[in-house]
Amino acid sequence: MNKFNVLELIFLFYSQRNEHLSNVKYTIVFTKKNGTKETYKNSTDQNGKTKPIRIDTNGKLQVFVEGYSSIFSKKTLISPILAEGSNNFEINEAKLEENLKFPTADQYKAMQINAQQKLEHLKKTAQKNTNKGSKIFGNLGQNAQPFPIFGNKKTPSNGVGNILNSSPFNMTYEEYKKQHTVSFKQQKYLKFKNYCIYQFLFSNGKSIPNFNYQIFAKTQEKPVVNMRPSPTDFKGFTQVAYTYEDNYVQYSMAGKPIKSALHKPITCVDDQIVFQIIIPTSGGITNPNVNNKIGMGPLKKPPIVINPYTNEVVVLPPSLYEDFYNKTKILSDAVEKVHQTNASLRRAIQAKNIDDIREMEKRLNINQQEALSKINGEFQQRTDLQEVWIASKEIDKGQSKTNLLRRYLKPAAYEKLKNSRLNEDIRVEITNAENANRVADPYKIKKSFDEISKKILNAKGEVGSEEKAVYNLIGGLGGEISEQYTTSRGIDVSQEAQWMRMVAGAHGEGEISASSAGVQMKLNANASAKWTLFEGKKEWRYFFPSENGWYLEHGNYHLGEIRFLIGCEISGFSGANLGISGNLSVDITHQGTKQLITAVKRDPQRSMANMIDKAKGAKFNAAEGNLELMEELGEKGSNQAQAQIKAFAGVELQGVLKGGIEWFDPGTSEDSKAKFVTIASASAGGGVSAGVGAEGQFQIGYSAASNTFRVLVAAHLCWGIGAKGTAAFDVGADQLINFAGFIKSQVAYAGFKTLAYINSASYLRLSQILAYCIGENSSLTIGVKILSQEYLRWIDRLDADQGRLQTARRVNSSLGRKELLDATPETKGILLYAVSHWTDQTAPILDISISLSWSEVDIKFFPERKTAITNILATCTSEAEWKNTIQHIHPQGTKLTDQQVGKVEGDLIRFLNYDILETKSTSEKRLKTLLHCLNTDQDYGGDDLNHWLKLYLEYRKGARTVKNHMNYMIVRNQHDPRFRELQLQQNLPGALGAQDGVLMASNLEILAPFEPQNPVTNDQEYKV
């Protein structure tokens, strides 16, 4: 068949650091061999990829980007500065050269006339034949399953009369060309060079020429620039350092070597940054008092206290500040210890160190008691709390640094502190005039601080350098605060937000280092529960049992990893106990449509150490135990000798459950990267029992009340050892794709056996809607209820041959082939049934392939449907999956009996065998020989098989070489190079499936919606 080949070309922009370069504006100029040019302009996506450009002829490409030809140049269209290769590419593809053979418009017209004459003859032949489809095509009626829920079959209205109208040559040349266009893809890479440059400046902004320096990469002992210290140029600039590593400058002050902070290099498409190194001066003061000099060693300036709620700025005497700092630090440190210990516990879980787990649990209990005791002693209600921000400036080793952190005290203590201030009443614009709990825009913050600073300095006239430095610091704070605001989720200074920041670990995650090297936040506590300095988050959450997740198993099968991103939406004091106590026991209860978290006393006997496998990490068996209670067996020892921990006194302790379940996708996502993806979110309504009746502490079912798939989890698996109750998670419409991949992985990893914790009717419902989405090119994000209804309508449409042909085309599309990866055997069985059956004798006319040459017309029947069959079977990468798929060739995915299985596969072969206009005896002779070879395990020696039968035998044989494996979510189909690796592994000692005997389909008790008739035994062979 004639093909018109089109190359879809994508460029990937990335740096030497292997970082994708997103949002880069580019221009691609393609010059064809005939001299004409085409230009493509756009921006790279978040993965650094350009839009695909379609090329149908050979030629040359040039890639340009908007960037900087040097650090000091303006941004313009340039040739990219690359680490290797060129921005010029030559396109010289043999496939594109073949386009010269594609018919011209005049040639196509002549071919049309020839084809129409052949089709007229075919039409007359079909009209004379009065037999039914079963006799013509040898398939209908042998094992055709009716569509029992949809009444009588429909017959196409015009039948044979529309043969010519259905002809593929009843189209324009443009349509013909489009239909015969075949795309192939390529991706080319541009690696951008990384570099850095520095400038030495005095603190007054003047450049420092002839200042000796060297530049080092982080991991290298030899310098990147200057093997021996060499001077800067006349403007204080260093040479450009070409390195992809974080790097620093080393120089000497008073004979001592000094290293700058590490800096990340840039590329020609980034904003061009000159990293400045400030060298402090030792003079330049208006008051000759020696105490006012800024020395070369550490010097701390008087602290400034900012009240974000009242907009007040207070300069404290050093003596008073020390007492205030020490008192508030006690509380801060107590809370910080809780979060640090909790983080250490999760690291111990990740490291699978049982002794460390018990020790961290013991420390955590002690630290929680201490923190709760201190808070209970200070604050009884929300209005008892006052948050302030403390700023102080110091110069240490030539670096100017502003420390900005937060502290908490009672309002009365703050008023006393304010009355002892050194300055007059100063107020800045932090809070928004329209909403006192939200801050103003960043530029307003900075502007108000700058204006206050200038106002004070002008009023005081000549002041000493010490005092001037203090008020200059006030002016600079606006920039630091506004910069932090723009990188956070907004500042919320309400009392509730202040309270929640305090219980989240005030000091542990609230200290900022703002120096000439930039603004950095020190994260000493649990990063997964990160609260930035200004965030007004109303959720507290963390990963459980750790970032690595649970090792999920069933019987002796490893079923992958899941983890819980768990927490709660908190209000008022509800966050105190839950926030600080991260690992305290909780009770998950249900009030109306809400799942509520209530803190309860912790049983000191329980320990995560009892659920750790030293080889595999944290693990649980989904089908063991039950949803309400944790198994008591095997819990030995104590992690805390003291009494059970008490909660806060006199406050309400409950919040709304938040979070979700994440599954470790080994590489089926669009970017093919192994990563955790969300498969369900905490349910926002409904009970916990709807649609679920399976066993185990981890259950998957369907909730009719919310029309979603639902996962029920025993509380101790998602919150912590000793937690009680059941948590419900619903699969949202946008999570269905990931959820389908998770379910496919579960049944595949278990060798396609029954999984007790997956409800059978729910499993079949998912398989059915997946078949509909693939067959109808529909999105899973529509929602389960609508998809279930559309599935029934789709089955009805499949009772007509036009509907089956459309399904085949969608299966063969690039999206359909991709979605087959997540398809269960039931889904594939439904699709195979849909594309391999027909109703009317004219069905082949709807799906026909005609290849033209100057001497003959080659006609093939059902090419698109046969291609769909082979595309589906190509995704069966083991004998277990192949036979499980065959067992479910049914319009509703029902499992077939042992008498039906062989007939169904035989019908599939008969369908693939019907191809060209040949005598019935020739076709049946070939078919009989082929079936005999398959049933006697012999190779077919003839050379008269069509393309699809050859593929069928290849895939069947390939699947039989792999009994079972654990890579269903990585090996996409039998064309995947990794499939060959699986085949080679089968004969290795200990390989999964490397055993004597023939393994048949092993999921013979798979979750079927109806009672099975004549169930197939595990070891039973079948004949086709």
The answer on 563 and 420 residing in a single domain is no
Query: Which CATH number is 11's domain given?
Result: 2.60.40
Both tokens of 708, joined, read 């979603």
537-569 residue pLDDT tens: 455 666 777 777 787 777 666 777 888 887 776
Cβ proximity of 508 and 536 under 8 Å: no
Work out the pLDDT band at 224, boundaries 50, 70, 90: very high
* Residue at 118 is within a domain: no
Cβ proximity of 825 and 901 under 8 Å: no
pLDDT at 215 over 90: yes
Which segments of 698-820 does DSSP mark as H helices, in order? 715-718, 736-749, 760-776, 784-797, 801-812, 814-819
Cβ proximity of 292 and 465 under 8 Å: yes
- Looking only at the bridges linking them, the beta strands covering 654-665 and 594-599 are antiparallel
Q: Residue 980: which domain range?
A: 761-985
Asked if the bond preceding 545 is cis, omega within 30° of 0, the reply is: yes
Cβ proximity of 30 and 59 under 8 Å: yes
760 vs 693: CA distance, rounded Å? 10
317 vs 322: CA distance, rounded Å? 9
pLDDT at 783 over 80: no
Which stretch, 906-920, 935-949, 963-977, has highest mean pLDDT? 935-949
Please say whether the dihedral angle defined by the alpha carbons of residues 879, 881, 884 and 886, taken in this order, is positive or negative. Answer: negative
The answer on 549 and 509 residing in a single domain is no
* Residue at 490 is within a domain: yes
pLDDT at 751 over 50: yes
Q: How many domains does the chain have?
A: 4
User: What integer pLDDT is reported at residue 572 of this predicted model?
Assistant: 47
Which stretch, 62-76, 331-345, 348-362, 421-435, has highest mean pLDDT? 62-76
398 vs 258: CA distance, rounded Å? 9
Cβ proximity of 354 and 609 under 8 Å: yes
User: What integer pLDDT is reported at residue 49 of this predicted model?
Assistant: 95
* Residue at 22 is within a domain: yes
581-608 residue pLDDT tens: 554 567 787 777 778 877 666 565 667 7
The answer on 787 and 658 residing in a single domain is no
pLDDT at 5 over 90: yes
User: What integer pLDDT is reported at residue 299 of this predicted model?
Assistant: 41
Residues 6+ apart with CB under 8 A from 518: 261
* Residue at 793 is within a domain: yes
pLDDT at 611 over 90: no
The answer on 318 and 434 residing in a single domain is yes
The answer on 910 and 805 residing in a single domain is yes
Work out the pLDDT band at 361, boundaries 50, 70, 90: confident
741 vs 757: CA distance, rounded Å? 17
55 vs 720: CA distance, rounded Å? 57
Work out the pLDDT band at 357, boundaries 50, 70, 90: confident
The answer on 775 and 656 residing in a single domain is no
* Residue at 19 is within a domain: yes
Of 9, 186, 180, nearest to 101 (Cα)? Answer: 180
Q: Which amino acid is at 846?
A: L
The answer on 428 and 340 residing in a single domain is yes
* Residue at 868 is within a domain: yes
The answer on 546 and 525 residing in a single domain is no
Q: Which residue has the higher pLDDT, 99 or 628?
A: 99
Which stretch, 196-205, 232-241, 322-331, has highest mean pLDDT? 232-241
Q: Which residue has the higher pLDDT, 543 or 45?
A: 45
pLDDT at 916 over 90: no
* Residue at 995 is within a domain: no
pLDDT at 456 over 90: no
Which stretch, 210-224, 628-642, 732-746, has highest mean pLDDT? 210-224
Q: Which uninterrupted H or E stretch holds 404?
A: strand 399-409
895 vs 1015: CA distance, rounded Å? 9
Of 139, 122, 164, 180, nearest to 804 (Cα)? Answer: 139
Query: Buried b vs exposed e over 512-542: b needs ≥16 C-beta within 10 Å?
Result: bbbbbbeeebebbbbebbbbbbbbbbbbbbb
696-738 residue pLDDT tens: 678 888 777 777 888 888 887 887 766 778 888 888 878 887 8
- Give the mean pLDDT of 794-811: 75
Cβ proximity of 629 and 725 under 8 Å: no
Cβ proximity of 478 and 447 under 8 Å: yes
Both tokens of 878, joined, read 């083991």
User: What integer pLDDT is reported at residue 25 of this predicted model?
Assistant: 96
The answer on 514 and 561 residing in a single domain is no
Tell me which DSSP letter residue 153 carries.
P
Last residue of a domain, one of 101, 124, 146: 101
698 vs 602: CA distance, rounded Å? 23
E strands along 164-281, which residues? 181-192, 198-202, 213-217, 223-230, 247-253, 256-259, 275-279
Last residue of a domain, one of 473, 498, 529: 529
User: What integer pLDDT is reported at residue 536 of this predicted model?
Assistant: 47
Which segments of 850-894 does DSSP mark as H helices, in order? 863-874, 879-886
User: What integer pLDDT is reported at residue 1005 of this predicted model?
Assistant: 26
Report pTM. 0.54
The answer on 774 and 653 residing in a single domain is no
The answer on 663 and 563 residing in a single domain is yes
User: What integer pLDDT is reported at residue 222 of this predicted model?
Assistant: 92
Q: Which amino acid is at 749?
A: Y
pLDDT at 680 over 50: yes
Q: Indicate the range of 631-640, 697-706, 830-839, 868-877 predicted with least confidence.
A: 631-640
Q: Which residue has the higher pLDDT, 446 or 637?
A: 446
Last residue of a domain, one of 501, 529, 557: 529
* Residue at 449 is within a domain: yes
The answer on 613 and 479 residing in a single domain is no
